[in-house]
Each structure stands twice: as structure tokens, then as C-alpha cells.
Structure 1
Amino acid sequence: MHNNNKELTLSAPLSGPVLTLAKVPDPVFASGAMGDGIAIDPLNDTLHAPCAGVVVHVARTGHAVTLRADNGAELLLHLGLDTVELQGEGFSMLVKEGARVANGQPLLRYDLDKVAQQCKSLVSLMILTNSQDFQARPITLKSVKVGDPLLHIVRRLASGVPVEVDLSGAEVHGHIRIAHRGGLHARPAALIRQTAQGFKSKSQLHFAGKSASCDSLIGIMSLAVGEQEEVQVSSQGPDAEAALQALLTALSTALAQDSHTAAPAPIAQRNRPAEAGVLHGVCAAPGLVAGPLFRLNAISLPVDAGSHDPAQQLQALDTALSVVRSEIDHTLTQARKHKNTDEEAIFAAHLALLEDPALLDAAAHSIDQGSAATHAWSQSIDVQCEVLQQLGSPLLAERANDLRDLKQRVLRALLGETWHYDIPPGAIVAAHELTPSDLLQLSQHGVAGLCMAAGGATSHVAILARGKGLPCLVALGSTLLDQVQAQAVVLDADGGRLELTPSTERLAEVQQAQLDHQQRRAQQQAKAHTPALTLDGLHVEVAANVASSAEAADALANGADGVGLLRTEFLFVDRNTAPDEQEQRLAYQSVLDAMGDKSVIIRTIDVGGDKQLDYLPLPAEANPVLGLRGIRLAQVRPELLDQQLRALLHVSPLSRCRILLPMVTEVDELLHIRQRLDALCTELELTQRPELGVMIEVPAAALLAEQLAEHADFLSIGTNDLSQYTLAMDRDHAGLASRVDALHPALLRLIAQTCAGAAVHNRWVGVCGALASDPLATPVLIGLGVSELSVSPVQIGEIKDRVRHLDASECRRISQGLLKLSSASAVRHACHQHWPLS
């Protein structure tokens, strides 16, 4: 451009504290893989343009936008971390691709509270994606307000003559399905670019008739490739074959994700062969069921003759709105009581929409003109839905479905229809698009599964369906609505298929599988409250990991033998000051009370590293995971641990309280806390003291297990941290997450050494990491000498059942052989061979 060499000053796009990229809790951004830049922890709810320029890319999910400044610098503005997973929820983009924007112009608005609750971090980034041509120099690292000068952008001097790459060789091609959650958004795109830059060959991605160079972050993001979509890759140059293979691997390796929150991966429709009698859709909630297909129709209104009494109609609408408000209030109360946060958030939004003046005023205006309340309400919602859907945002389309839900509910109240669906229990329900309140009613009604012509795998209905365990398929197309009522079908949500003409044998097979599954779950639950003994009589305690007294009560109801890990961080986070001794004591006591006569293991505060507290400023660390974490923090701030120990020593009965110390690496750390605990017991004139245990989550602790067991009452293995420290792989690292597997033989050797060391002093060993909840690992852990497994409350029945089908002596014999294997996948394969999962 004409001013290509001009220095550019960028102003702050958000207000808040400024961070260098190195401090951003995301390996892809922090490593500079995307380019040079700066981060802000935002305090406001609108992102502004840092300079004049053109919008060259808008993220499909509305959480990021890229500008090209007039001097050619390309700036990615990315709001929050992992925000692509919100699928646009909470964001509203204010500009379109191709638009010219002025310095300081608002680009996107977001719901600060909603996004903060649902994403990994609100830390937002301004990245110079063509850092090879430009350099970013910070002006300030203090807090800024929108518009304050933040960065100087300077063009880099050309470094000599560009190297010519020989592209005469054959072009090689491949195709792959994208495994990255949310498709090729900024982070995976950066990994692809980084991979491509490691080779001399030039590579391109091809999708839906468009192509992009793998060197261009904007180009890759602009292809708008969704999750599970298939892309072509081409490479040409001296190392084309190697470049192609590396790119195919990078595209098919999912970024780190939190599996329990993950929506099931949508199954791509592209290139799937047509199959007679089968409709293909996207899995929104897993499962396999058979039953009669029943269509659910929306309410249709007769033609409005007009000339109604406005006062009467307004009164009727007010009454109907009050009825619906109280229904939603009741739903919210139930959701809060049962800790259904997803359900609570969805219906709180419905309540807000019901108060929306745009809707109410439009309906009142129509009534004044002589319309019936039914038609006035219906039209005011239809108009709003039309507006939202034309904006082309997935978030706003979801909002339109919420509005349709309110339309149906208020119409039912106005028409005086009782809320009754003419659908038998056990049916599979078909609809154009179900609403959240439909789903709650149908779930109570006992339907077997749901399928929709429209809808998305991340919609409110999908979230609720997964929570209720109802198999659900979406995006099946309009053919679904032409099917004969009550015909027998098979809904295979895992496979993304609705089988319209299953044979008698197929129906019988699915019904049998359903029955077997239900019976197995029922049998497991029926025996969940009895001890878990192996076939040769070894007792394995199955406890629960919890974070509150409500979760503890749930664990006891599910048959937990105790609490194997109470994470006390829940008391310390999301607040401005530390909880005092009294508040802590009441919280710990309530967990003990919720567990009847069972013991509770309470871990002392484990913050530092990636878990920071606002009121506990710690020095900035280049590598927080290797810094002040766990027990090390107690050495720096002893008053925090002292207060916590005092609170723990006041619970009753003390015999049921066990204390667990996180991140111990040497015996002296344990002895120091042991002495402090003894001193406090003396001071409080206690004759009894609680058992004191040590977390084994760093290799040093596992290797010193025998020495630690001499002074500890028990050991508890945290396999999540032990995996990442042993394998030197960050669990949150984009490209490595799938390889951080606690069944790696090196991990198993450390677990074996921990159990052997503990046995010298007759101490027991538990596992409270994610490996304890993996039924495939149960026989291995028993075989290596673990006697307590602490799992998520819902898995207690299943893990106890697994224990009862095992022979402990056989587990010991086979597990010794597993230590000699060469990889985690080899261990998993052997486990499936020796101890198949039913």
C-alpha cells in the first residue's frame, strides 16, 4: 500500500491489565506460533478496532476478527481462550468481512458474565499474524483503557534475496477429516502454519471450491472449515511427501479438550454414500434405541377475523405471560436444587426474553390495532426470529429457537390447552426443531429418543438431551417430517443414522441391547452400596472425587465408600478475599455430615501454576506448572495453610477426616507440615489427630514413596499431573493432548514403585486421578497394589461392578507383564485382550 513503510501505533482494543504473550495460559499463543503481539485481561464488554483498516476475516463463531491495517500489518483480535467452543454463544459481531473500519470503532460485543463462566480464560489477544514482515514493540505493560496507545508496529527490513524453492517436482495430494474442536479456527490454523513452515515445499489446503496457502493464517481461517469436515491437502517441492504427511497428522490430531464438557463430534455429511431407508444426521447426544416414530407438530392458529376488544386481549396476554413466568420460575428452582447449571442458564435466558420490551411492545401495538392476543404474540415473535436469522450467526439462530419456545408456551397458556403431547412413552419423537421446554416435558413423558430435521449439535436442546441421557440426532433434513406416524425405527445416534425400515431381526437386536444396558446399569446401581470385593476376596474401596457438600451427598446416594478427594479450591476461587477459618470449618463439616459415617479425604489448597487467586498475587513465572504450586505455596504463605489446618482440626468427628498434601517432592516438606499439625493439636488440646497423606503427582514423590510412606499415613496418586510431569507433555498442549495417557508403561512403573514403597511401611495407596475412573485401568491398578479408587460419583456403581468381576492374583500376574510393554496403546490393547469391557 502507499504507506507501507509508515510506523503504526495501535490503540488498546479493550480495557484491562496488559500481559506479555509469554504469560498467556495457552501454549499456541504463548509460544508465538501465531505471531508477535500482546494480551489484555478485559474489564469491558466491547472489542474496538486498534487502528483504521479493513476486516479481512470474521470467525464463524463470532469470537475473533482479523483486520488489515493500511500499512499491510494483519492483526488477529481474539476474545478469550478456547472461546470457539461456545459456538458463538454470548458473542455478537458488529462488523462484516470486507468492511472498512475506523480506529476505535466497536467490532464485537460479548456477554462478559456468560463468556467468563463458560470459557477457559477471558485473556484476549492482539496478534500480528504477519510477524515475518512487521515487528510489534509494546508501549506499555500497565493497565490500559480502550483507545490508549499500546503497540508500535514497525516494518522489518528485508533480509537479503528471497530463497527460490524448487517446485518442479510432482505435486502430492491427500485428504483428511478435521479433528479439531470447532474446526480450523485461530489456534489449529496456527499449528497448521507452523507445521508447514518446517518444510521447504509449498502446501495448500482445499475446501468447498476454495484454496489457501498453509503459510497464511488468515487464508486457512477464511476457508471456514468446520469440525469433522474433509479437506484436501496438496504439497509441492523437494520434501513434499514429508510435508504432506506432517500436515495430515496435524489436521487429524485434536487440540486438548475437556472430555466431560465436549459435545459429541458431529458426523460429517459430506461424501457419505446414500443408503436406502436411512436418514443421516449429526449426533447431538449418544445412544442406540428402537421405537415408534411420532411427529410433534407446532400449534397452528386459525385465521384472525380481527376487531377484538383490546383491553380484554391485553388482559388475556398478561395472564398467559404470568402463567409462563411462574412455570419457568419453577423450572429454575428445580434446576438450582439439582445443580443443573446448563438447564438453569437456558431458562434464565428465557425469563429475560419474556421481559423483552421489543416483544411486549410489538404485541401490545398489534392488540391496540384490533388483533387477537394469540396472533399479536405470534407475529411479534415471528418478526424477531426473522431479524435474528438473517444475521447468519449460529448464536442468534439459537436465540430464535428460544423465542419460538416462548411463542409455543404462551400460545398454549392463551388457548387454554393442557400441556399434553399425544405421544406414547418409549416413542422416538420427530420434529422440525424441538425447543428446550419441549425437551424437558418429553423427557418426563418417558420418550426413548429425539430426532430433528434442523438444529445443531451444540444447541440448547442438544445440551439438555445429553444431560438427560436421551439419544438425539439433528440436521436429518425435511424428509424426516414426511414419515408415517408410529412406524418402527432405529435411532443410532452414535452412528448418525435413523433407520426407517429396520428388519424384525434388527429391531429385536437393538431392543435386546437396550434391555441389556438398562439391566446392567440397574444391577450395578442395586449393588453400588455393597463393598467391592474381587473374585478372590480382596476389598477395593471405591470413593468419590467431590468439590462441595451437595456433590458429597450425591456421592453417598450413589454408593461411595467415602470421599477420596475433596478439592478445597472451590472455597478460594471466584472471590476477592480468602475464606476465614469459620467459613472453611463450616464447609468441611458440611461435607463430613453429608457423608454419613464415611471418611473424607480433604486436600489442602492447591493453587499456583495455572490456578491463580486474585487476592494472592504471586510473582510472574516463565513456567507456572514448574513453579509455586501446591505445598510450595504453603511454604511461601504459611498463614494460608495454618488457617486451613486450624479449620480442619475443628471438624467432628476428627477420626473421619484425613488431610492430603498436594505437590510434595521431598520428605522434609511432609515432616514440616507433620510438625506444624502436631503443634496445632497441642495448642488446641486435641488428643487425637487426623491422618496425614501425600499426593504422588510428581515423579520425585513416586521414586521416594518408601521414604514418604515412613512418615505419611497413606499415599494418593494424582495420575493427571503425574502423567504430564513424567512424560514432559503439558496436558493442555494443543498437539500432545492425545498422547498424555496415564496407561503409559513409564507411569505404570511409577505406580508400581509407589505401591511397593508404601507396602514396606504397611501404608495403603489410592488413585484419585482420572485413571481411577477408567474401567479399562481398574484391573491394572489393582494388580499393581492400589486398594482405593476415587472416581466421579456417577461411576461408582460401574467401577464397583468391574472390581467384582476380577481376580486380584491374576491382575497382579498380568500387570507385571504390562510394565515391560513399549507404549500406552500397547498397554490398552493388552488390557482389552485380558479383561474385555462388557
Structure 2
Amino acid sequence: MSTDALTLLAPLTGWVVPLSEVPDPVFAGGMMGEGVAIEPADGRVYAPCAGTISQLAKTGHALTLSSDAGADILIHVGIDTVLLNGAGFTARVREGQRVAAGETLIEFDADRVAQGAKSLQTVVLVVNGDAFVPASLGLGRVEGGETVLMSVSPCGQASDEATLSASGEVLFAQATVRHGGGLHARPSALVQAAAKPFAARVEVRFGGRSAKAASVVGLMRLGTDEGDTVEVSAQGPDAAAALAAVVAAIETVSEAAHAPAAVPVPLPSAQQGPRFAGVCAAPGLAVGTLVRLDHGLPELAETPAGADAEFTRLASALASVREQIDAMVHGARAKALTQQADIYSAHLALLDDPELAATAENSVANGMAAGAAFRQAVQVQTDELRALDNPLLRERVSDLNDIARQVLTQLAGGKLPEPELDEQSILLADDLAPSELTRLPRERVAGFVTAQGGATSHVAIIARAMGIPALVAAGDGVLSLPAGREVVLDAAAGLLDAEPEAATLSEARQRLALLREQSARRFAAAHDPALSRDGVRVEVAANIGSLADAEEAVRCGADGVGLLRTEFLFLERDSLPNAAEQRDSYQAIVDALAGKTAIIRTLDVGGDKSLPYLPLPPEPNPALGLRGIRSGFARPEVLEAQLEGLLSVKPLARCRILLPMITDVAELIAVRALIDQIAAQLGVTERPEVGVMIEVPSAAVLADQLAEHADFLSIGTNDLTQYALAMDRCHPGLAAQIDGLHPALLRLVKLTVDGAAKHGRWVGVCGALASEPAAVPVLVGLGVAELSVGAALVPQIKAQVRELSVDQCRQEARAMLGLPSAQAVRERVAAVWPQP
């Protein structure tokens, strides 16, 4: 494909008008592509350039000309002219015919067509805008076949598309959408992620529409629902693999889809006096001060500074927001906040949507300022989603608006003002975005109410995870409430009392007091040992990723830290922390634990976790490459600095070192020798306990050998599950099948416990399985001595252990090793230990 700009001649004689003035929302909104319209002065259509007629409407009113450079030019005479069934039109070319610039393509009776159509305005569009950008547009009178109308420049993507489209046969498959609500943002992001690694052009078709798998908004725009059947096609070198991956992503519900459902409350449709009805997005009761959270946007220059400057500004803003969201993804994953990480990943996919970028860039090329172009591009997509008969897809509008807000703020070069919060604030907004909620101090947010939104929105999911009472879809009337008044939010009942009487306030405060008392009793008990009914103690520790998390772990009664993810020290910076910086951070965390022990895992990067300033060589299969301790061996200066920082912590008895991704005894012995060497250099005579993460099957099988040289073993069920079942835990199409209660996993846990027992070592579980109530009795029954969970879950897990008989757990767990599937295990657990 040529990199030179293509010059297009005017295909008609007449007057050029902006596309936005065309009386058709599909054309005016740029949904078909960017370009202009022409008010024709006669009835003849000329070829704007040399090329081939790739499509000709049977009625003769429209055609697509594919230029030699690869640009597809649509010429559509009039609006709604397809209804004329060809009356008044005469095509002078046929499909597949090659034409020269200025050659006559269509003749039409202008008077006859004008009488039967909505408008004679003829649109001239570049319909493959992902590959070509129209520019240098002019207004005023033009002569058909003579006047230069516009130039079209390649934007760098056509080459790959053309290569893939010409590579091999097209493969087809059908898939049934299994995601509740259809292909909305997160499922569409999963489909995009499934297709991304492959060299293939993948498209999804439904209801006469098609979308590239690379376009999240395009997939959402298909308007599918759960149970719909779509057609998937793939072409390119990796067509077969890409087709299978996309079909799996469409048909397999991800873990994020198993979020606790909100409680929809049947309610009156509107305000009842001072009480506003809505939908419960996150249950709970709150009394607080109403704080308005209006979506103010900064003032943006509407006058462009030139196309080059505006392209640079837009690219810079997009890169900044991409970096911010990516940091949020990494931060959430480092804290094992899977749902939040998935939501931020979906936002990243929306930001990277090629249709969104192409629409904005085309507008910039047409002379629009960067801010206005991006705002308009988002508006086109949100209008399309609002028009769909699917409430779940309409809720994704807030996600797009959230992205627009962040990009426009970057373009303005500043930050939006922070709201002034009360001690107990109940936020009030038209709608609320995830980034707006998570940036506010949690301790000051008692709840929130929105006029719009829904119970399945991303901010609702985050509110449930954070325990923030939330009422959504309360109607526009709620926005008339003034800030500063005291209100009662009973989200579980679906009500906001905007003018509570004294008795109502008193009752709500009494209920909150009772809840606080119950919480206080639960937390007080959390500081006691978790002893089973038959007197067996199970340690319940906390997984943490920061000093604040350590303080929270102590507050929640954790018996210690079962896993400190040291990645927090390496994120959001542009260079490696030195040994002294690390020592100070580790020391602060150990000090905060008030005498309890911290198990500190060495840096675990590689695979799906990377640091921009710590480049590792590219790998064809990163999940099986330089991960965990292997990356430490590959970059010994990083491992040595971390071990030096850890060995400087005092007292060392309170610090245990945990080594990730160990596969055999030789690796463990090598690290122990390195610890001895660094300790000798520092003059340290004491040695910390060293443990091994059991994350790969070989480590579980060799647990008896590892336990001879390790002080303890800690099972990382997330990675152990993916390696044992040969299912990538990051694969969007397999998430629902990756179950830690699979009998194979339970056997590996038992093998680990038995191997450790030969040398008197204890075994803990620090993976996500330890936090799952259904798994707790099984793990205890298999002999696990420590469960490390999120700090907030410590009271709950301890309370659950106190209700168990370890003897019964052992008998049941032993029997579960012989069950055929994870589903069978879960059914047995539910029968023996039903969860409330």
C-alpha cells in the first residue's frame, strides 16, 4: 500500500456541505465513515479517482469505489433513495469494473429523485476509516470530475488488514452468547483480548451487522443478548486458533460475571414526597450529608491549532490516560482485587477501541480541535448504545463517559477539583463512574445515590466490593435536592429519605448502632485464635500489598501476614528501588504488625506481570518462561538488592522470605546460598525462615524434597490451578473452567501437606482459594495449617473455622479426592456445609 496521500475529485457538481448537516443520523454521526456531502446541481456521478467498483446497489443509488491505494469510497445519492427501488437511477458501471478518474458512474433524474426522497444531499465517505483518514476538505461549489474535493491519507493499519484478508481461506463458526446481557463492555473486552494475540482478521456478525473482534464498541453495537447465536469468521495465518479463541470467549462466562447479584427492588416509579425510590445496587444503611458530585469538565479550546498539533495533543492525552488506567489494573491485581482489575481492563479496552480512535482522528483531520473531536467520537458511541433495547449495554454509557472525562481533563492540562466531603457523605450524581468513586477517601463515603445507572453497572460492582450502600436509577427528580442536608439511605429497601423526620433519623441511627455493635463483636472475636469445635487451631493471616494493608490486617485481627506482595514497591515508578528503600518499606510493615510475623514474597514479575523499566526478553509463551524466581535468576542484581533489603529488617525472626515459582530443590538451595552470602557481607548472623510457594505441579510432587530444605510451604492456588489444568488463568474463554476445587488440585494440596509432614513443616494457602468459604472446610480437612486471605475477610474466615469439626473435615475431604469433577466437589460441600 502506498504511503502517499490520495487525491479525490468531486464526484458531483454542486455545493459541498458538512456531513453533520445531512438529515440522517447514521451519516451525520459518522457511523458509516468520515467525509462530506454535496448538494447536487445536476444528475451525474463521476469517479473521484481510479479504482474498481467493489459494490453497486441493485437500485443504482449507491456504490463503493476501491482505489488502487486501498481506500474504499462510498458515494450515496440522496437520503432514503433505496425506497425508490431504482426509479430515476441508471448505473453506467458494474461491480468489478475498473474505472478511471472522472469517468461517469451513475446518472439520475434529479427532479424525479428529489420528489421521492427525503433529500438529494449525496454523501461521499471513506468507509475504511481504520486505515485511511480524509483531510483537506473544502466547502463551496465544486465541479464534478474536475475540482479536488479532499485528500485521503493512510493511517498505518491498512497494511496489516490487507495482508490478513489476503492470507488463506476464511474460516467460519457459530457461537452462542453465554454472557448475561449479551456482549456488553467486559465480555466484549474479553473477546477483543481473545483475538488480539493472533495474526488473523476476526469478525462477528449478528442481525445483519458485523463488527471486528478488535472493536469493543463495535461488538457492543451488535446488540446481542444472552442466548443469541452469532457467526464468527477468521482469516489469516492464525485463523483457526483465533476462531477457536473468540468462540470460546463468546460462549464462556468469565469469573467476573459471577459477581454477587444486586438486589432489584420492585418500586414505585417516582418520588413519593421527600422519599425517592430507586434500584438497590449495593445493600446497606447510611445516614449522612448529601454531597453533590457534578460532572464538571474543564474548558477546552474549540479552535484547533493545526492538524499536526491536535494529533499530538490527542495522542499525548490518550497515552496519559492509558498509563493511569494500566496502573490501576496493576494496583488492583497486586491487591488481588480481581473484579476491579477486570473493570479497569475493560476501560482500557474501550480506550484502545480502534473505531473510537479512528473517529476522533478523522475529525481532527477534518479540522476539529482534539477535545471536540474526542468528545464527539464518544457521543456517537454513547448515542448508539442508548438506542439499543438492552439495559445492560445502556449502562456502559457511563464507562465511555468516564473515559471521555479523563481524556478531556488531560487535554485541559489539569485535574478536576476534588469535592468537599463531610465526615459521612452520601454522594449525589446523575451517574457515577468507577474512577470517580475509587479516587475518594473510603472513610468519608457513607453511600451514594444516582439518577441514572443500573444494578449491573461497573460502579455498582465496585460499590458492593467496597461495602458502600448504593441506590441507582432514582430518577432526575433526585438531582433537585440541595447539598448539605442530612438524609437516610436505605439501599436494601431501595429508598432515599431526603427529609427524614426525627423518629426516622433516630430509628436509622439505632439500626446503625446495632450493626456497629455486631461488627465490633465480630472484630473483637477476630483477634482471638480460630479454634475449631474439636480444638484444632487454624492460623488466619492476611494477604497485603502495602503499609496501609498491614495496618488494616492488624485491625481486622489477622494472625500475621501470610503474603506480602512486594510488587507495590516496584509499580508506578521509573526505576528499581534500591536495597535501602526496600529495607525501609519492609521495616515499616513489620513494625506495623505489632509483633506478628510477615511472610514477604520476593518480586514476582514476568508472564502477565511486567515492569517497563525491567525489560525481560520477549518469549513465545511468557506463562512458561521467566516468571517469579526465574526472573530473579535472570536479573540477579534485582534479587540481590531485594534480599539485602529483607536481611536488614529487625528482628529477622519476624520476617519470613517466600520464593515464588520454585520448581525443584536446586533452585531453593541456590537461593539459600545467596542469602548466606549476602548475610555474611552484611555481618548478619541470624537467618530468616525461608519458604517455597507451591505454584507448579513439580513443586507439589517434590514437596517432601523441598520441605527438607524449606522452613514452610505456601500454596499459590491461582497459578497451581492453571498449570495443573493446562488452562491459562488470563484466558478469557477458560475462566469459568479454572476451578481450584478440581479434584486434581485437591490431590496436589494433599500431596504437598503429606510431603511437608515428613519433615515437620507446615503448609499454608495464600491463593484465592483460601478466601472462598466453600473451600475453607476442604482445605482444613486436607491438613492446611494456615489460610491467608484479604484483611477484611479475616473475621469471617475465623468465624467459619470455629464452626467446623476438623475430624469431619478430614473425612469429607478424603472422600472428595475421589470425586470426578469440581462441580461434584462443590455440590458435596454445599450439602455438608451449606452457606447462608
Shorter-chain-normalised TM-score: which range?
A: 0.5 to 0.7
Structure 1 length as normaliser, TM-score?
Answer: 0.56
2:810 to 798, 812, 833: 812
- Larger C-alpha radius of gyration, 1 or 2? 2
Structure 2 length as normaliser, TM-score?
Answer: 0.57
Cα distance per residue 1:305-337 (max 9 Å; x no partner) = xxxxxxxxxxxxxxxxxxxxxxxxxxxxxxxxx
C-alpha distance in 2 between matches for 1:827 and 1:614: 42
CA gap 1:228/1:105 in 2 versus in 1, 3 angstroms: closer
C-alpha distance in 2 between matches for 1:792 and 1:463: 18
C-alpha distance in 2 between matches for 1:98 and 1:536: 72
Equivalence map 1:387-426=2 (5 Å): 394=397
* Residue 287 of structure 1: aligned partner: 283
| TM superposition shift of 1:221 | 5.3
Q: Residue 778 of structure 1 aligns to which amino acid in structure 2?
A: V
Q: Report whether the alignment pairs 1:836 with 2:834.
A: yes
* Residue 732 of structure 1: aligned partner: 730
Equivalence map 1:142-221=2 (5 Å): 155=166, 177-178=180-181, 182=185, 185=188, 187-188=190-191, 205-206=206-207, 211-212=208-209, 217=213
CA gap 1:225/1:649 in 2 versus in 1, 3 angstroms: same
Q: Residue 135 of structure 1 aligns to which amino acid in structure 2?
A: T
Q: Residue 283 of structure 2 aligns to which amino acid in structure 1?
A: G
* Residue 233 of structure 1: aligned partner: 229
| TM superposition shift of 1:636 | 2.7
575-584 vs 517-526, which moves further: 517-526
* Residue 353 of structure 1: aligned partner: none
Cα distance per residue 1:221-271 (max 9 Å; x no partner) = 5463499955743789xxxxxxxx999985453356599xx8x7789x9xx
Stretches of structure 2 lacking an aligned partner (at least 5 in a row): 6-29, 35-63, 73-124, 136-154, 233-243, 295-334, 341-374, 383-396, 409-415, 498-507
* Residue 135 of structure 1: aligned partner: 163
- Check the 8 A contact 2:178/2:251 in 1, yes or no: no
Q: Report whether the alignment pairs 1:556 with 2:554.
A: yes
Percentage of identical aligned residues:
41
C-alpha distance in 1 between matches for 2:670 and 2:826: 40
CA gap 1:187/1:786 in 2 versus in 1, 3 angstroms: closer
Equivalence map 1:495-644=2 (5 Å): 521-644=519-642
Q: Residue 752 of structure 1 aligns to which amino acid in structure 2?
A: K
CA gap 1:73/1:471 in 2 versus in 1, 3 angstroms: farther
Secondary structure of 1:224's partner?
helix
C-alpha distance in 1 between matches for 2:178 and 2:607: 39
676-685 vs 574-583, which moves further: 676-685
Stretches of structure 1 lacking an aligned partner (at least 5 in a row): 1-6, 12-53, 59-66, 76-95, 107-124, 137-153, 237-244, 300-338, 343-385, 404-409, 501-509
Cα distance per residue 1:422-444 (max 9 Å; x no partner) = xxx99x99986689999999998
C-alpha distance in 1 between matches for 2:467 and 2:459: 12
- Check the 8 A contact 2:182/2:226 in 1, yes or no: no
* Residue 721 of structure 1: aligned partner: 719
Secondary structure of 2:526's partner?
coil
CA gap 1:179/1:438 in 2 versus in 1, 3 angstroms: closer
* Residue 254 of structure 1: aligned partner: 253
Secondary structure of 2:690's partner?
strand
Equivalence map 1:365-384=2 (5 Å): none
2:782 to 784, 807, 828: 784
CA gap 1:769/1:476 in 2 versus in 1, 3 angstroms: same
- Check the 8 A contact 1:73/1:130 in 2, yes or no: no
CA gap 1:390/1:290 in 2 versus in 1, 3 angstroms: same
C-alpha distance in 2 between matches for 1:178 and 1:192: 21
469-478 vs 436-445, which moves further: 436-445
Q: Report whether the alignment pairs 1:774 with 2:777.
A: no
| TM superposition shift of 1:834 | 1.2
| TM superposition shift of 1:698 | 0.3
Secondary structure of 1:533's partner?
coil
C-alpha distance in 1 between matches for 2:224 and 2:284: 21
CA gap 1:563/1:793 in 2 versus in 1, 3 angstroms: same
* Residue 332 of structure 1: aligned partner: none
Q: Residue 801 of structure 2 aligns to which amino acid in structure 1?
A: V
Equivalence map 1:47-62=2 (5 Å): 56=32
Secondary structure of 1:565's partner?
strand
| TM superposition shift of 1:101 | 9.1
Aligned CA RMSD, in angstroms, stands at 6.0
Secondary structure of 1:527's partner?
helix
Secondary structure of 2:610's partner?
coil
CA gap 1:814/1:227 in 2 versus in 1, 3 angstroms: farther
- Check the 8 A contact 1:191/1:250 in 2, yes or no: yes
- Check the 8 A contact 1:429/1:451 in 2, yes or no: yes
Cα distance per residue 1:54-94 (max 9 Å; x no partner) = 97579xxxxxxxx998569699xxxxxxxxxxxxxxxxxxx
Secondary structure of 2:763's partner?
strand
CA gap 1:212/1:716 in 2 versus in 1, 3 angstroms: same
Q: Residue 212 of structure 1 aligns to which amino acid in structure 2?
A: R
* Residue 754 of structure 2: aligned partner: 756
Q: Residue 766 of structure 1 aligns to which amino acid in structure 2?
A: G
| TM superposition shift of 1:728 | 0.8
CA gap 1:9/1:683 in 2 versus in 1, 3 angstroms: same
C-alpha distance in 1 between matches for 2:748 and 2:613: 36
| TM superposition shift of 1:681 | 3.5
| TM superposition shift of 1:723 | 0.8
C-alpha distance in 2 between matches for 1:646 and 1:489: 52
* Residue 377 of structure 1: aligned partner: none
- Check the 8 A contact 1:581/1:644 in 2, yes or no: yes
CA gap 1:466/1:97 in 2 versus in 1, 3 angstroms: farther
Secondary structure of 2:824's partner?
helix
CA gap 1:468/1:569 in 2 versus in 1, 3 angstroms: closer
* Residue 224 of structure 1: aligned partner: 220
Q: Residue 286 of structure 1 aligns to which amino acid in structure 2?
A: A
C-alpha distance in 2 between matches for 1:535 and 1:763: 24
C-alpha distance in 1 between matches for 2:452 and 2:695: 46
CA gap 1:833/1:743 in 2 versus in 1, 3 angstroms: same
CA gap 1:128/1:721 in 2 versus in 1, 3 angstroms: farther
C-alpha distance in 2 between matches for 1:457 and 1:660: 40
CA gap 1:663/1:253 in 2 versus in 1, 3 angstroms: same
| TM superposition shift of 1:677 | 2.3
| TM superposition shift of 1:564 | 1.0
CA gap 1:179/1:663 in 2 versus in 1, 3 angstroms: farther
C-alpha distance in 1 between matches for 2:648 and 2:224: 54
* Residue 694 of structure 2: aligned partner: 696
CA gap 1:480/1:222 in 2 versus in 1, 3 angstroms: same
C-alpha distance in 2 between matches for 1:770 and 1:637: 28
Q: Report whether the alignment pairs 1:656 with 2:654.
A: yes
C-alpha distance in 2 between matches for 1:806 and 1:611: 37
- Check the 8 A contact 1:439/1:465 in 2, yes or no: no
C-alpha distance in 2 between matches for 1:569 and 1:514: 38
- Tell me the matched-pair count: 587
* Residue 94 of structure 2: aligned partner: none
CA gap 1:622/1:524 in 2 versus in 1, 3 angstroms: same
- Check the 8 A contact 2:248/2:734 in 1, yes or no: no
Cα distance per residue 1:14-34 (max 9 Å; x no partner) = xxxxxxxxxxxxxxxxxxxxx
C-alpha distance in 1 between matches for 2:676 and 2:441: 58
CA gap 1:676/1:836 in 2 versus in 1, 3 angstroms: same
544-553 vs 611-620, which moves further: 611-620
- Check the 8 A contact 1:192/1:251 in 2, yes or no: no
- Check the 8 A contact 1:659/1:691 in 2, yes or no: yes
- Check the 8 A contact 1:178/1:252 in 2, yes or no: no
* Residue 793 of structure 2: aligned partner: 795
C-alpha distance in 1 between matches for 2:175 and 2:611: 51
C-alpha distance in 1 between matches for 2:585 and 2:377: 45
- Check the 8 A contact 2:742/2:825 in 1, yes or no: yes
